[in-house]
Amino acid sequence: MPGATDGDTPAAGAEPPAPGFSSAPRVVSAAPYSWTCQNGPPGAVAESETETIMSVLTATATGSTTASVWKGGVAAAAGASIVTTALAALASAAGVSFEAGGSAIPLLGFTQLTAVFSLVGVAMAVVMARVARRPRRTFVRTTVALTVLSVVPDATFGFDAASAAVLMTLHLVAALIVIPVVARRLATTR
């Protein structure tokens, strides 16, 4: 603590210790996400105080990770939606029909589906941040597999070759925008 010396005597100009304590709290041991504080003579820390401190630190770390994943994920989902819609509009202007079974995919369909499935991915990341032993690796492996699966309908729903190729590319573009942004916000281990 600033202003305190190694013993129970405060340094010149320092505030006296709180009533009932021989000195200000000191960090006795530290680990990556927990530490034990001592409020007095050695051995004075109750087990419940140590557990409370560790619980608060764990909750804070998890809460900040969750908020970071949501904020970054929502921003990435919005960006991916805008980019895929713009690319779909360019492809449509270049003559790509996006028709299957006699009806074409509307332009706003790209925006909506990109946003919805990106947000599903963000929600998966939040869950993985809380339960997976290796959240980042689990998220990346899962989303890469789902991205590969997402191109199957493009190849099998009766789109012409140009439409199928552009749709597959749009899936990859959205994944390349969202997955890295969200993965960076996840811990490597929990």
Which pLDDT tens digits describe the chain residue by residue (190 residues)? Answer: 454 444 455 555 555 555 554 554 554 444 444 444 455 555 555 554 544 444 444 444 455 788 999 999 999 999 999 999 999 999 999 999 999 988 999 999 999 999 999 999 999 999 999 999 999 999 999 999 999 999 999 999 999 999 999 999 999 999 999 999 999 999 999 8
Considering the domain architecture, whether residues 94 and 129 belong to the same structural domain is answered as: yes
Number of domains in the chain: 2
Looking at the fold, whether 81 and 166 belong to one and the same domain comes out as yes
- For residue 168, being part of any structural domain is answered with yes
Q: Name the residue with tokens 């990556």.
A: 32
99 φ, ψ to 5°? -100, 140
| Cα–Cα distance for residue pair 5/11, rounded to 1 Å | 6
Residue 105 is assigned to a structural domain of this protein = yes
Q: Which residues contact 171 (CB under 8 A, 6 or more apart)?
A: 147, 150, 151, 154
Phi, psi of 96 (to 5 degrees): -75, 130
Same domain, yes or no: 41 and 89: no
Instruction: For residue 54, tell me if it sits in a domain.
Output: no
pTM for the complete prediction? 0.67
- Is position 116 within any domain? yes
User: CA quadruple 99, 103, 108, 114: dihedral positive or negative?
Assistant: negative
* Full domain range(s) for residue 139: 63-184
